[in-house]
Amino acid sequence: MKKTDPTITDSRFTQLRQEAEKHLDQTLMPEPPPVEKLLHELQVHQVELEMQNEQLRQSQIELEKSRVRYVDFYDFAPVGYLTLNHEGMIDEINLPGAALLKVERSRLLNHRFAPYVATEDLDRWYNHFLSALKEDRTLSCELMLKNENGPCRYAMLDCRRLYKNKGKEIVLRVALTDITERRQIETELEQHRHNLEDMIFSRTIELIESRDAAEAANRAKTTFLANMSHELRTPMNGIMGLTDLALRRATDPKQIEWLTRSNDSAKQLLALINNILEVTQSEAEPLMLQEKNFSLSQAIDESLHIHDALLKAKGLSLTSEISPALPDMVCGDVLCLKRILDNFIDNAIKFSECGQITVRALAIEELEHSLLLRIEVSDQGIGINPAQQARLFHSFTQLDDTPTRKYGGAGLGLNVVKRIALLMGGDAGVNSQEGVGSTFWATLLLKHSILLPAA
């Protein structure tokens, strides 16, 4: 009699025996004789064996299904799988792995994996193989694989150490992923990047050359304007000098009027030439400040007295308000200060038909060795709208830019003021309301006179 399958547990054996006895009890007499009892026992064992055979058959069917599923998963996986022993021999490999190596699976088994690695990557593979056998984690590397009948391919190898035969044998499970297409894309992108860098470099050189050419042209233009301004000032000074001599000797009222108008026009033209010269010089080379001690109140009074004739001609009054907190003696470029005041007062007179012009001077911040002076010139003229205020200090910007202009000027004076104020550590601006009047202001950083002896 065959032995019972050892895999069946005692509880299961008891269950089978009970089912067999129950089955026989339904067909036999309740109390059989001894011989018949032996036959009954044999029949019970026979039923048990049949039931065990059926169970084994079902287990074999399930095992076959599992094997088919395993083969499907293993041989038709999206990546290649192979198993290497500790000597680097291929124990197992699936179909995608063989397809990636371009070799039949039967020819790969029990052969080394190294011969299928490109020569230039062999050292990398050996180092990676030894490291993967030692470490208990997944290690990855990229290798180039040989191909006897075509171009080489690139693969990503993810290696993991495993144990077989109850830990007695170490093997390496390797997942092979074809990254040839990715490497080709990366190579193309790298080429495009280099091409783009070359194009950017070439374009940058062109832009630098264009910038240098433009700067050279601008310097030539600035130098030309500066030279022309110098050349124009010489004859203009001669014209003004001769006109003054003619005025002294003239007795005819009509001639005096003509000579006076000619002299005023010459002065306006000379002021315009001076503005052009100052702008072009500041563009060509930085303005150098000439610092010396001076009396602040005296400098303001001198700037006010220069405009007496124009003020009387238009019936305007001009007053000054100097803060008593200001020191009288300061150190700085007095000519630049007067230049700012002259421009502000000229504009106030130009755009005022009546009323009063006020010049204010106050300290808005006083430091240990210096002070920040604020100069304001307020008028009761036509005022300036916000759109004009935003561009007023730009070069060649004019308040009245209509074809039939009532107010003259080239739009350079306020730009000069802005440059001077910034150079002297301050700024310039305007507060205005159209139809009410304007207040032009500038801040200048001046030193205390004790830092520099009086000139």
What CATH number does residue 391 fall under?
A: 3.30.565.10
* pLDDT single digits (tens) 251-307: 888 888 888 888 878 877 877 777 666 666 665 556 677 888 999 999 999 988 888
- In the block, tokens 């630098």 appear at 208
Query: In which domain, by residue range, is 400 found?
Result: 287-451
Residue 205 pLDDT exceeds 90: yes
**Alpha-carbon gap, residue 367 to 363, rounded angstroms:** 10
Rounded average pLDDT over 391-399: 62
Whether 338 and 302 have beta carbons less than 8 Å apart is answered as yes
pLDDT for residue 21: 63
pLDDT for residue 32: 55
Percent share of the chain, pLDDT over 70: 82
Rounded average pLDDT over 367-388: 87
Instruction: Please tell me the total count of domains within the chain.
Output: 4
Residue 22 pLDDT exceeds 80: no
Whether 316 and 352 have beta carbons less than 8 Å apart is answered as yes
**Alpha-carbon gap, residue 41 to 50, rounded angstroms:** 14
pLDDT for residue 444: 93
pLDDT for residue 147: 79
What pTM value is reported for the model?
A: 0.46
pLDDT for residue 2: 41
446 Cβ partners below 8 Å, 6+ apart?
330, 331, 332, 370, 371, 373, 424
Residue 187 lies in a domain: no
* pLDDT single digits (tens) 128-175: 999 999 998 999 999 999 877 778 889 999 999 998 877 788 899 999
Q: Do 295 and 389 fall within a single domain? A: yes
Percent share of the chain, pLDDT over 90: 28
3-state secondary structure 405-422: CCCCCCCCHHHHHHHHHH
pLDDT for residue 427: 92
Q: Do 376 and 406 fall within a single domain? A: yes
Q: Do 365 and 420 fall within a single domain? A: yes
Q: Of 247, 245, 269, which is closest to residue 258 (Cα–Cα)? A: 247
**Alpha-carbon gap, residue 256 to 244, rounded angstroms:** 10
Residue 184 lies in a domain: no
pLDDT for residue 50: 82
Q: Do 326 and 444 fall within a single domain? A: yes
* pLDDT single digits (tens) 396-441: 555 554 433 444 444 567 888 888 889 889 999 998 888 888 999 9
pLDDT for residue 410: 45
Any idea what DSSP says for residue 326? S
Range with the largest mean pLDDT of 124-138, 212-226, 384-398? 124-138
Return the number of other C-beta atoms located less than 10 Å from residue 128's C-beta: 18
**Alpha-carbon gap, residue 287 to 420, rounded angstroms:** 8
* pLDDT single digits (tens) 300-349: 999 888 888 778 878 888 889 999 989 989 999 998 898 899 889 988 88
Rounded average pLDDT over 205-226: 83
Give 6 or 257, the one with higher predicted confidence. Answer: 257
Rounded average pLDDT over 119-131: 92
Q: Which of 178, 211, 241 is the last residue of a domain?
A: 178
Rounded average pLDDT over 233-260: 84
Residue 34 pLDDT exceeds 50: yes
Tokens, residue 70: 């395993």
Q: Do 53 and 168 fall within a single domain? A: no
Residue 423 lies in a domain: yes
* pLDDT single digits (tens) 56-67: 888 887 877 777
Q: Which of 147, 178, 209 is the last residue of a domain?
A: 178
Residue 201 lies in a domain: yes
**Rg over CA atoms, the chain:** 53
**Alpha-carbon gap, residue 407 to 203, rounded angstroms:** 47
Q: Which of 280, 304, 334 is the last residue of a domain?
A: 280
Instruction: Provide the CATH number for the domain around residue 222.
Output: 1.10.287.130
CA separation (Å) from 239 to 129, 247, 267, 307? Answer: 98, 12, 10, 21
- In the block, tokens 């032996």 appear at 38
pLDDT for residue 4: 45
Residue 30 pLDDT exceeds 60: no
**Alpha-carbon gap, residue 116 to 250, rounded angstroms:** 114
Residue 359 pLDDT exceeds 90: yes
330 by Cβ neighbours in 10 Å (0-12 / 13-18 / 19+) ranks as buried
**Alpha-carbon gap, residue 362 to 426, rounded angstroms:** 14
Q: Do 23 and 131 fall within a single domain? A: no
* pLDDT single digits (tens) 74-108: 777 788 889 999 899 999 898 888 888 888 888 89
Residue 361 pLDDT exceeds 90: yes
**Alpha-carbon gap, residue 86 to 84, rounded angstroms:** 7
Residue 379 pLDDT exceeds 80: yes
Residue 188 lies in a domain: no
Give 380 or 278, the one with higher predicted confidence. Answer: 380
Residue 190 pLDDT exceeds 60: yes
Q: Do 293 and 434 fall within a single domain? A: yes
